[in-house]
Amino acid sequence: MRDWLNRWRPSYGQKMFLLAALPLVLSAAAIAVLVAHQSRALAEREIEGLERELIAAKKQELRNYVTQARNGFYFIYGGAAPDDEQAKTRVAQILAAMIYGDDGSFFVYEYDGTNLVSPRRTELINQDMSGMTDSEGTPITDRLIEIARQGSGYHSYLWPKPSTGEEARMITFVLGFQDWQWAVGTGVFIDDILDTVATSRAEVQSRIRRTFVYIGAITLVALLSVFLSGLFLNIRERRLADAKLKELTQRVFDAQEEERGRVARELHDGISQILVGVKYALDIARRRVTRGDPRSVETLDRGLENLSGAIQEVRRISRDLRPGVLDDLGLGPALKALTDDFRARTGIEVAFETVVFRNRLDQEGRIALYRIAQEALTNVERHSGASRVEIDLRGHRKGATLRISDNGCGLARSAGGGAPGPGIGLRNMQERMEQLGGTLRILSSRAGTVIEAQIPLSHLLPPERRGEPISKAQA
Q: What is the pLDDT of residues 362-407, one digit of tens each?
A: 888 888 888 888 888 888 888 888 889 999 998 887 888 899 999 8
CB 471 within 8 A of CB 333: no
**In terms of C-beta density within 10 A (0-12 exposed, 13-18 middle, 19 or more buried), how is residue 448 classed?**
buried
The amino acid sitting at 373 is: A
5-34: pLDDT as tens digits: 556 666 666 666 677 777 777 877 788 778
Residue 266 has pLDDT above 50, yes or no: yes
CA–CA dist 89, 73 (Å, integer): 11
In this prediction, residue 467 has a pLDDT band, given cuts at 50, 70 and 90, of very low
Domain ranges of the chain: 14-189, 196-296, 324-413+421-474
- Residues 322-337: tens digit of each pLDDT: 666 677 777 888 888 8
Instruction: Give bridge partners of residue 383 from the DSSP assignment.
Output: none
Q: Is the dihedral of CA 320, 326, 328, 329 positive or negative?
A: positive
Give residue 451's pLDDT. 92
Q: Which fold has domain 324-413+421-474?
A: Heat Shock Protein 90 (3.30.565)
Q: Amino acid identity, residue 235?
A: I
Instruction: Provide the pLDDT confidence category of residue 423 given band limits of 50, 70 and 90.
Output: low
pLDDT tens for each residue of 183-228: 999 988 887 777 777 787 788 778 878 887 888 788 788 778 877 7
More confident residue, 470 or 231: 231
Give residue 415's pLDDT band: very low, low, confident or very high (50, 70, 90): very low
Q: What b/e readout covers 237-247, taking b as 16+ CB neighbours within 10 angstroms?
A: eeeeeeeeeee
Q: Do domains 14-189 and 324-413+421-474 have the same CATH topology?
A: no
Fold of 14-189: Beta-Lactamase (3.30.450)
Indicate the pTM of the whole model.
Answer: 0.44
